[in-house]
Chain A
Amino acid sequence: MFNVIATISEVASTKATFGFSVIVQHALTGISVGGCYALIAIGYTLVYGILRLINFAHGDIFMVAGYFMIFSFAVMPFPLAIIVTLVATTVLGILIEKFAYSPLRNAPRMSVMISAIGVSYLLQNLATYLFTALPKAYPAIPGLKQVIKIGNISTSLVTILTPIITILLVMLLLWLVNKTKIGMAMRAVSRDYEAASLMGIKLNKTISFTFAIGSVLAAVGSILYFTDRMTVFPYSGSLPGLKCFVAAVFGGIGSIPGALVGGFFIGICETIIKAAGLSTFSDAFTFIVLIVMLLIRPTGLFGEKNIDKV
């Protein structure tokens, strides 16, 4: 089967001339990766907004979603498998919050962060134990890998579809946060945790809901991401996870549009760097972005107080 990634890495390794079609192809890949990143970044941003916690396990939830898909796809038709994956990931997210974070509500922040790292460690080790450390093939969802040719440019459907799905989901989420009752509760909790609970908002319910949204978006991101990458292994969530956190910081932690912009920014930059033949630095670049951003504008692009924060 024709694979976009393969062509791109070829291009990168031979440092081919940057013709128009090559640039467009890179741009498409970048936007597509960025879309996945944005979906994961929203999970970080929502959770940080509410609990002031870097959910180190979020990247691993994304990884486990990959395995959910592999196993459900093997036994049921794909639309059902997708639904099962989304539901299972959501449940996982909620359970993690219940067991690992909620008992530490009043603990020092360092304890909660260590708990998050612990969950990440547990999920990775559990995945290694259950599914071995070897990469497992990700199922090809019918149609998604279909090659689309426009003139010189050939790409797969998933590459085109990812940013569209991302933007649609973000719009849906913004509606949810701004217009519904539970969304209002989320905003209230993120503004002032204690005041919100005094006003009769059910803290635990709101927090669970936030984790549910974050996880379901991570599951969608996971399906799009792994369809493109084609394999899942126990550590495939850890680095994308950290990158997406950086994306969330870049956009302004707590801001949904910020996470979207941050995700696209990191995704596109990373693709450019890889295309320029500097793959070794593509991960380091993300962290340079983080440090520069923290130094010049710790609140991120959209992280101002008057911006719609969750």
Chain B
Amino acid sequence: MKNINFKSRMNIDLLIYLAIIVVSAVILVFLDMNKFEYNYSISIIEKSLVYAVVALSMNIVTGFTGLFSLGQAGFMALGAYTTAILTIPAAARPNVYYMNGILPALENAVVPIPIALILGGVVAAAFALIIGIPVLKLKSDYLAIATLGFSEIIRAVIASPMMDKITNGSYGLKSIPGFKSSLECFAFSLVCIILMILIINSSTGRDFKAVREDEIAARSVGINIFKTKQLSFIVSSFFTGVGGGLLAMFMRSIDSKTFQITLTYDILLIVVLGGIGSITGSIVGAFFVTAGKEILRFFDEPLVVAGVEIPLFKPGFRMVIFSILLMVVVLFFRKGLLGGKELSINGLKKFSRKKDEVSVGGVA
């Protein structure tokens, strides 16, 4: 009886999520049809979607497995470059590689976009596999700095003259085919996000959480913590790589400077604001931060009220606001805006009921 209740409750949630997806898709179709009018909104939405993918992938490893990895930018770079190299139209290539030429093998290596994105993820995952062997044995803070280091090494290699014929060195890549419509971006991101949610809520995801909670206890119930950490790191890097590919498609041109440490920090900002270990937090956080940065753009413009220039408003102000917001969340709302919980209809219902009822009940 209780089971039936449990099931129907899940179904209601599922239906609501489906409804949200459908409504979003309809809105996007509408925006796409009026592209010229809503160009700006479309670009914010696309960017938010891409960041949601990357933030959630960071959350898998940081929030759900408890490994503080700061290698995001590096894995994004791998995915972005792989995707770009495999999708720039062959005709455009001589133009892109005008300085140093292109490796003959790559001249005509063009694959469909979904395959390029997956390969981008695979390349990132393969690197994670190799890097993970030494790095995942390190303690938390060393892990952070070592992954950050790897990210910088990857960036240096991409920009190095030896890679000229593949990555175009410091010139970067351009003419990357963008999203045909915001719906396409939505579809790719949605697939990634759904897959990640499925993983987090699977038995594999439970193992991740067990490792996060207590490594010794996890081993005592038969979990191989190294393999679990490795798996989490690889999965996370795969989706970070795909996210990097999506970013390349969004930006249409990339170079090694795109993938500096600040990019990792930007994603960390989303994860922390949304709540470490919260799926919906990462998604909402991505939209909140990306849209927020755009909406607050007027903070960076000089503001004149009644002929008097308000002194605070000048370039860089909105980033200061975001930094302060980050510090406030870190210091006073340690669990992020969503407090490690998930937004769900169920949760909202619980929220509205009295607390003691919830703990005794469970049959809702």
- Chain A interface residues toward B at CB < 8 A: 52-54, 99-100, 103-104, 107, 109-111, 113-115, 117-119, 121-122, 125-126, 128-130, 132-133, 238, 242, 245-246, 249, 280-281, 283-284, 286-288, 290-291, 294-295, 298
In the complex where A115-B331, A281-B160 touch, is A290 in contact with B316 (Cβ < 8 A)? no
18 more contacts with CB within 8 A, not counting A242-B149, A280-B161, A287-B148, are A110-B62, A110-B68, A111-B330, A115-B327, A117-B265, A118-B323, A118-B330, A125-B322, A128-B316, A129-B320, A132-B315, A242-B152, A283-B152, A287-B150, A294-B138, A294-B142, A295-B134, A298-B138
Q: Which residues of B sit under 8 angstroms from A126, Cβ to Cβ?
A: 320, 323
Is B320 within 8 A of A52, CB to CB?
no
Is B149 within 8 A of A291, CB to CB?
yes
Q: Which residues of A sit under 8 angstroms from B317, Cβ to Cβ?
A: 129
Is B152 within 8 A of A115, CB to CB?
no
Q: Which residues of B sit under 8 angstroms from A287, Cβ to Cβ?
A: 146, 148-150, 152-153
Question: Could you list 23 examples of A-B contacts with CB < 8 Å?
Answer: A52-B141, A99-B331, A104-B330, A109-B140, A110-B276, A111-B330, A115-B331, A118-B272, A118-B326, A129-B314, A129-B316, A132-B315, A249-B142, A280-B156, A281-B160, A283-B152, A284-B156, A288-B149, A288-B153, A291-B146, A294-B134, A294-B138, A294-B146
**Minimum C-beta distance from A95 to chain B (A):** 13
Is B157 within 8 A of A114, CB to CB?
no
Q: Give CA–CA (A240, B323) in the complex, Å.
A: 21
Q: Which residues of A sit under 8 angstroms from B268, Cβ to Cβ?
A: 114, 117
Q: Give CA–CA (A249, B159) in the complex, Å.
A: 27
Q: Which residues of B sit under 8 angstroms from A242, Cβ to Cβ?
A: 145, 148-149, 152, 261
Is B322 within 8 A of A298, CB to CB?
no
In the complex where A238-B261, A281-B160, A284-B156 touch, is A290 in contact with B146 (Cβ < 8 A)? yes
Q: Which residues of A sit under 8 angstroms from B146, Cβ to Cβ?
A: 287, 290-291, 294
Q: Which residues of A sit under 8 angstroms from B152, Cβ to Cβ?
A: 242, 283-284, 287
Q: Give CA–CA (A107, B135) in the complex, Å.
A: 24
In the complex where A110-B68, A294-B142 touch, is A122 in contact with B320 (Cβ < 8 A)? yes
**Minimum C-beta distance from B39 to chain A (A):** 27
Q: Which residues of A sit under 8 angstroms from B66, Cβ to Cβ?
A: 110
- Binary A-proximity of B302-316 (CB < 8 A = 1, otherwise 0): 000000000000111
Is B327 within 8 A of A119, CB to CB?
yes
**Minimum C-beta distance from A237 to chain B (A):** 12
Is A125 within 8 A of B319, CB to CB?
yes
In the complex where A109-B140, A114-B272, A125-B323 touch, is A291 in contact with B150 (Cβ < 8 A)? yes
Is B269 within 8 A of A121, CB to CB?
yes
The 3 nearest A-B residue pairs measured at CB = A287-B149, A129-B316, A284-B156
Closest to A277 in B: B161
Is B148 within 8 A of A114, CB to CB?
no
Is A291 within 8 A of B334, CB to CB?
no
Q: Which residues of A sit under 8 angstroms from B322, Cβ to Cβ?
A: 125
Is B142 within 8 A of A125, CB to CB?
no
Q: Give CA–CA (A114, B272) in the complex, Å.
A: 8
Q: Give CA–CA (A290, B334) in the complex, Å.
A: 30
Determine whether B129 belongs to the interface, using a CB cutoff of 8 Å to chain A. Answer: no
In the complex where A238-B261, A284-B156, A287-B153 touch, is A104 in contact with B331 (Cβ < 8 A)? yes
Is B156 within 8 A of A125, CB to CB?
no
Closest to B266 in A: A121
Determine whether B324 belongs to the interface, using a CB cutoff of 8 Å to chain A. Answer: yes
CB within 8 A of B142: which of A53, A122, A298?
A: A298
Q: Which residues of A sit under 8 angstroms from B330, Cβ to Cβ?
A: 100, 104, 111, 114-115, 118
Closest to A278 in B: B160
Determine whether B190 belongs to the interface, using a CB cutoff of 8 Å to chain A. Answer: no
Q: Which residues of B sit under 8 angstroms from A246, Cβ to Cβ?
A: 145, 149
Closest to B142 in A: A294
Q: Which residues of B sit under 8 angstroms from A284, Cβ to Cβ?
A: 152-153, 155-157
Q: Which residues of A sit under 8 angstroms from B31, Cβ to Cβ?
A: none
Q: Give CA–CA (A129, B296) in the complex, Å.
A: 14
Q: Which residues of A sit under 8 angstroms from B320, Cβ to Cβ?
A: 122, 125-126, 129
Is B156 within 8 A of A121, CB to CB?
no
In the complex where A238-B261, A290-B145 touch, is A100 in contact with B331 (Cβ < 8 A)? yes
Closest to B163 in A: A280
Q: Which residues of B sit under 8 angstroms from A113, Cβ to Cβ?
A: 68, 140-141, 144
